[in-house]
Amino acid sequence: MSVITAAADQTVCAPLSVLGRDVTVPLVTGGEVGYAALDYAASAPALQRVWDDVAAYAPYYGSVHRGAGYLSQLSTDLFENARRTVAAFLGCRQDDQVIFTRSTTDSLNLLARALPAGCQVFVFETEHHASLLPWQDAQVSYLDAPRSPRQAVETLERALAGRTVSAEGGHGPALVCVTGASNVTGELWPVRELAAAAHAHGARIVLDAAQLAPHHPVDVRDLDVDWVAFSGHKLYAPFGSGVLAGRADWLRAAEPYLAGGGASRKVTRRTDGGVDVEWHESAARHEAGSPNVIGAYSIAAACKALTEAGWESLVAREQHLVRTVREGLAEVPEVRILSLFGDDAPRVGVISFVVEGWNSSHFAAALSAEYGIGVRDGLFCAHPLVRTLLGSDPQAQGECGAPEAAPGEKSLNAIRVSFGAGTPDEHVERFVNAVRELVREGAKWRYRTEDGRCVPAV
């Protein structure tokens, strides 16, 4: 069974230039060190290219749509050109819509609001909360975590085959929501096969590409998905923007996501004192209010930068970093890497693990305070998945507790290291060496829990 696969080994390119690459941070043990940002899965640093493009446009900033002034017209052209750039980046079909949102979460909530009446939704419990939770007003079926790509497809096929039959004797509309790459394990999902299964049973599919788009090319037609959603802040673009792109019919038929200016084509008073509204049928229908032109432009700039850098070399370099981390952690017996599909599964630069004898919050705090390395600890807004991967056996409590743990789950949390196109080799090498040293020698400082976080004791 095929999945989205990584490029073969080749000459490894240099990391792309990102903001913050020269930032130094203090260590509790004294002195300073260059900050190793290894939390790309939460927010990737902005590409220097993106920042420069936005800075060049900033003096020309103006209102978008309907403004008569030169700067307004320039900003409107830039905003709509950004839409076309994103459509090309995603390989959209000619009649697809590209809607600018605030984030992946916002995009999927928008789509949830656009579901036809009676729509059944199928989603694996392994999803990030952004794609797990928006469907609660629909008839939703949560599918158990699969342990292989093949099992994922088979699980979906069984669920779709058992869909509820309508009173008319047929099946109503259905939607499958699936991630492209896990924000916990980094593993790539069999998107093409899941799309084929969905379509074979008369369902549509939306791809949560938040963790896939920064690491791999995403082509809507090649993957045969109906919609794709992603966030700018994970795609090396700042400013809190996102994208929902895909088929227009459900979006045109739905009430606007937000009611207001921009979404409305015509508003008139009625004789009874109310108002009649004619809504746009274009993407503007769901983009009420003044658009985030800088956010849209920053996403488009990131799309251009990644495309011009060349996906083949970007993927090859990232796989080099993935091997460095995984091989380094494999040399530490106390470390257990979390995985659904096994060691051989293709994956992006997202790796979660636990360390025997350590509370994960304590370990992450020591990496930051003693080595200048920023990682993430916790359940990563994917609580069902992380609980499944960790099982019911609690880890040792350690000196700091896990603030989000429920009673009886002393430290049911993990550590996540994530990286991408802007990560220098030195950062992942320092991380691997720090893990070895902490496990072998222990922390050099004392830590305590303060406001729910594990911090160095003063």
Per residue in 411-456, pLDDT tens?
578 999 999 999 999 999 999 999 999 999 999 999 998 887 899 9
Q: What is the mean pLDDT of the chain?
A: 91
* Element at 110 (helix H, strand E): helix 104-113
CB atoms within 10 A of CB 185: 25
- Average pLDDT of the segment spanning 356-365: 94
Share of the chain above pLDDT 70, in %: 92
- pLDDT interval class at 11 (50, 70, 90): low
Of 91, 300, 90, 304, the closest CA to residue 213 belongs to 90
Hey, what are 411's tokens?
Answer: 């430290």
Catalytic, 119? Answer no
Per residue in 259-290, pLDDT tens?
998 898 899 999 998 999 889 899 989 888 99
Strands (E), 257-334: 264-269, 275-279
Residue 227's contacts (CB-CB under 8 Å, 6 or more residues apart) are 111, 204, 205, 206, 207, 244, 245, 246, 247
* Element at 178 (helix H, strand E): strand 174-179
Q: What is the pLDDT of residue 68?
A: 86
Q: What single-letter DSSP state applies at residue 246?
A: E
Looking up tokens 């599964």, which residue turns up?
345
CB 129 within 8 A of CB 383: yes
* Element at 267 (helix H, strand E): strand 264-269
- pLDDT interval class at 408 (50, 70, 90): very low
CA–CA separation, 315 vs 387, rounded Å? 30
| Catalytic residue chosen out of the listed positions 119, 177, 303, 381 | 381
- Look at 165 and 173; give whichever has higher pLDDT: 173
